[in-house]
Amino acid sequence: MSPALVVTTLVVIGIGGIFARSMVVRVLCWLFATPPLLAGCFALWQGGIAEPFSEKQMFVFCAGAFWPAFGCLIGQILTYRSRTVHLGRSALTVAFFSCLLGSPCSADNLLSNPAFESALAPHWEKRTPEDETHTLRRVEHAGRNGSAAAVLENIQPSYTRLRQGADRSIAVEPGSLIELSAWVRSEMTDDADITLQVYCMDAAGDGILAQPRSPAMSGAFDWTRANVWLAVPEETAYVMAYLQVQEGTGKVYFDDVELAVRQKPLPRPPAPKVVLLSDLPDDSRCLADLKTLFEDGLIPVAADEAATALADARGCLVLYEDQEAPKAVCDAIESFARSGGRVFMDIRNFAQWQAAQAVQVKVGTVKGVPAETQMEAGVRIVSAAPVTAGFAPGQIMPRASFPEGNLWVLPKDFKRPGMEVLAVAAQDEPGIVQLEVGEGLVVAADVLSLREPYCRNIDAYYKYTPITNTLTNPVQFGRYFARKFTYAEFVDQMKAVADASPKIRFAEEGPASDGQPICSLNLGTAGKPLYFFYAAAHGSEWEPGYGLLCLAGLLAEGRFADVVDLGQVEVKIVPLLNPSGYDARRRQNANGVDLNRQGEFEWERFQGRDSNENGTWEAFDYDWKGTAPLTEPEAKVYRSIAERENLYCVLDFHGNTSATSNKLAVLPATARADNGIRATRLQQIANARLRGRHLLRQEPEEICKQYLLERVQQGGRTPFLMNNSAKNRYGLLIELTAGYPSSYGTVLQTDVTCELCRALFEAYPPGE
């Protein structure tokens, strides 16, 4: 065995000992690892067992091998000092990820002049030019080791920023995991926010794709390492690094700044090949949607090339809008299906292929009526099948043209051998059908008469769902709810879920501000690392709570057994934390308090806004924080959970209908230092599974986009509840599309919620 392999193995054993729960295990690991580690290094140095190393190679190797152990040892020492707990935890984190990703110094630094050994210009730009309020300069002998440092000084409270990369000199491959870090020393006042920030810019230079920042630091402190992690978004053309201080007065020193790729993009499987046979024009909105949904896997081909193109395809789409499908197309799809292929056809094309003619029928009213009435305009599911995943028999899938409320269907008496009717219109006309052809399947439904799946277009919200369910990535965990329950009815739903499985325990956690009980569903093993999921702290953001209701059942059924062992964890789910706000479709609780401004972290400092413009910030204003932290009944219940010693990880769901404010994860300011990289891993896991499944447009988007978790960013100085529960632990807040006037979006919303919960178990496996 090569000494290099021996040394690497022993280093990992030593580090494992450091992270072990028991001191006895730590000592045994160190005793076992240290002597042979030294011997292995000596053998490597001598070059007598493996390939000889040059002195330079050996120096790099030893530095990389001993840095993690040294960092962990320092971290262990520091964490016993109450005033340096955060620094110690940071050292442990740096050491741990040094083992996984290599020594921080081993990666190429993408920044020029990172230690400020020469003048700031031309590489460092004063984003905020100097004036009487602030200065930005290089100072000799002000750095960590007596070298130079960049010094940002606020003479008056100001936003002072130094940056690099605006000249597009820093290009990083999308999908890469990068870290921006710096050593920081401060002489600032307590009201300052000192951060690092990364900007990911599009090719035009005016579109910000991501802009995460490090946890804010304030006050006076000695040299401390700050960092921020980021998975570089798709379409990023270049990145910029910022060193900055906002508000406060005094000086802040930056040294040894590093921007490095810690992990190259994960392998991205090619999109499944889907052959499109159609007459859709190049400027068709439907065609643009399909290209977004299926990415480069969508292959439009001419009719005479269909047979050849289908030879290696995953599926086939037939969408002829203004003409009949050519005979060559009909022959090709029948041959493709007989050999096991899957085909989706617009129902008019299907009828023509079967020598029949589709008919247009009225399915409901979609204009000028309440959301609940619009939801009745569609097809009723009559048979459970993968094509209609998310909908149960008896439910209506909203589906109609606008504004007429019509839909193309098959004649009522239409029948074919091997055909199954999956959904029907009002008079039982087949609206979604599947036909077995040889070893394959042909599915048909009206697609071309529907408008785009915009978040307010109830009639077209699931326009493409039968297509993805048929051809590529079907709904996995989503469930349609035909209406929004009252809170009392929702509690009955929770009890029914618990009654259906002995693995689920229903509990009342305590009273809410309106006297209704705050209820939970509990699974797993008491005393094991506790995962706490909750939603609707803002009562109007309720739909993810329905996803958490589904989550409990999925866990009990073993659907997540590949990522979590209920024998090794405890799970507590509070789907609706704010009963009165939920019933009233209101953000605040019955006392007019924003529960997610009731946390202790920075509560005194937080100042909200007088949203009703009556001259006073008070109850029922948008973000009224209450009279003291954690004093509202719901917050007291929350605190009782947050203070449990075995609490390990927290996931808080919120929602809105703005694309710039959802599809977003926010990190607590108080969590462990490695929380950010784990959250980024959650993002990668969830997006890989959701890719090509859901398509949606929200404001202010101009086109439909795949619904994915697009951003992970650091939270600011806001008294979020999770800053209590995730303190020195793990957790995040996720904003999803929510706050709809009714429950029409719940297939997407519950599906995405459950996928994110699944990803959390995988990205945050139970530990100490």
d(CA 189, CA 220): 7
With H, G, I as helix, E, B as strand and everything else as coil, classify residue 467: helix
DSSP at 39: H
Percent of the chain with pLDDT over 90: 83
Q: How far is CA 630 from CA 28, 640, 719, in A?
A: 44, 10, 10
Are 507 and 572 in contact by the 8 Å Cβ rule? The answer is no
Cis peptide before 157 (omega within 30 of 0): no
Residue 763 has pLDDT above 70, yes or no: yes
- pLDDT for the residue 11: 54
To the nearest 10°, report the CA torsion of 520, 521, 526, 529. Answer: -80
- pLDDT for the residue 33: 52
d(CA 745, CA 391): 12
Q: How far is CA 444 from CA 51, 272, 290, 422, 431, in A?
A: 64, 20, 16, 10, 8
d(CA 410, CA 385): 19
Residue 673 has pLDDT above 90, yes or no: no
Confidence (pTM): 0.83
Give the model's confidence band at 16: pLDDT under 50 very low, under 70 low, under 90 confident, else very high. Answer: low
Are 715 and 666 in contact by the 8 Å Cβ rule? The answer is yes
Q: Cβ of 389: how many Cβ atoms within 10 Å?
A: 21
Residue 55 has pLDDT above 50, yes or no: no
d(CA 475, CA 210): 28
Paired strand residues for 149: 139
Which residue matches tokens 């995943």?
Answer: 389
Average pLDDT over residues 440-450: 99
Spatial neighbors of 93 by CB under 8 A, at least 6 apart, are 75, 672, 673, 674
Residue 58 has pLDDT above 50, yes or no: no
What digits encode the pLDDT tens for the residues 69-105?
444 444 444 433 333 334 344 444 444 444 444 333 3
- pLDDT for the residue 717: 87
- pLDDT for the residue 569: 98
DSSP at 298: E
Which of 7, 73, 5, 17 lies closest to 38 in space, CA to CA? 7
Average pLDDT over residues 255-271: 93
Residue 126 half-sphere exposure toward CB, CA atoms < 13 A: 16
Lowest mean pLDDT among 91-100, 518-527, 581-590, 717-726: 91-100
Mean pLDDT of the chain: 90
Contacts for 127-136 with beta carbons within 8 Å, 24 or more apart?
A: 127/161, 127/162, 127/163, 127/166, 127/242, 127/244, 128/158, 128/159, 128/160, 128/161, 132/156, 133/157, 133/158, 134/158, 134/160, 136/160, 136/162
Phi/psi-derived region of residue 495, left when phi > 0, alpha when psi is between -120 and 50, beta in every other case? alpha
Percent of the chain with pLDDT over 70: 86
Average pLDDT over residues 495-509: 98
Which residue matches tokens 């006042």?
Answer: 189
Are 719 and 601 in contact by the 8 Å Cβ rule? The answer is yes
* 215/43: higher pLDDT: 215
- pLDDT for the residue 266: 84
Spatial neighbors of 231 by CB under 8 A, at least 6 apart, are 175, 176, 177, 680, 683, 684, 712
Average pLDDT over residues 345-353: 98
To the nearest 10°, report the CA torsion of 533, 535, 537, 539. Answer: -160
Give the model's confidence band at 37: pLDDT under 50 very low, under 70 low, under 90 confident, else very high. Answer: low
With vertex at residue 173, the alpha carbon angle to CA 224 and CA 765, rounded to the nearest 5 degrees, is 60
Spatial neighbors of 121 by CB under 8 A, at least 6 apart, are none
Residue 421 has pLDDT above 70, yes or no: yes
Average pLDDT over residues 417-442: 98
What per-residue string of b and e applies to 667-684 under the rule 16 or more CB within 10 Å gives b?
bbbbbbbbbbbbbbbbbb
Lowest mean pLDDT among 41-45, 113-117, 561-565: 41-45
d(CA 443, CA 347): 9
Alpha-carbon Rg of the chain, whole angstroms? 29
Are 15 and 93 in contact by the 8 Å Cβ rule? The answer is no
Residue 48 has pLDDT above 50, yes or no: no
Are 329 and 303 in contact by the 8 Å Cβ rule? The answer is yes
Residue 38 has pLDDT above 90, yes or no: no
Lowest mean pLDDT among 55-69, 258-272, 345-359, 419-433: 55-69
Which residue matches tokens 């739909």?
Answer: 543
Lowest mean pLDDT among 30-39, 510-519, 723-732: 30-39
Residue 738 has pLDDT above 90, yes or no: yes
Per residue, the 3-state secondary structure of 331-369, as one string, reads HHHHHHHHCCCEEEEEHHHHHHHCCCCCEEEECCCCCCC
Average pLDDT over residues 553-557: 99
Residue 524 has pLDDT above 70, yes or no: yes
Give the model's confidence band at 328: pLDDT under 50 very low, under 70 low, under 90 confident, else very high. Answer: very high
Give the model's confidence band at 26: pLDDT under 50 very low, under 70 low, under 90 confident, else very high. Answer: low
What digits encode the pLDDT tens for the residues 681-729?
999 999 999 999 999 999 999 999 999 999 999 998 899 999 999 999 9
Residue 43 half-sphere exposure toward CB, CA atoms < 13 A: 17
Residue 552 has pLDDT above 80, yes or no: yes
Average pLDDT over residues 562-580: 99
Return the biggest CA–CA distance within the chain: 89
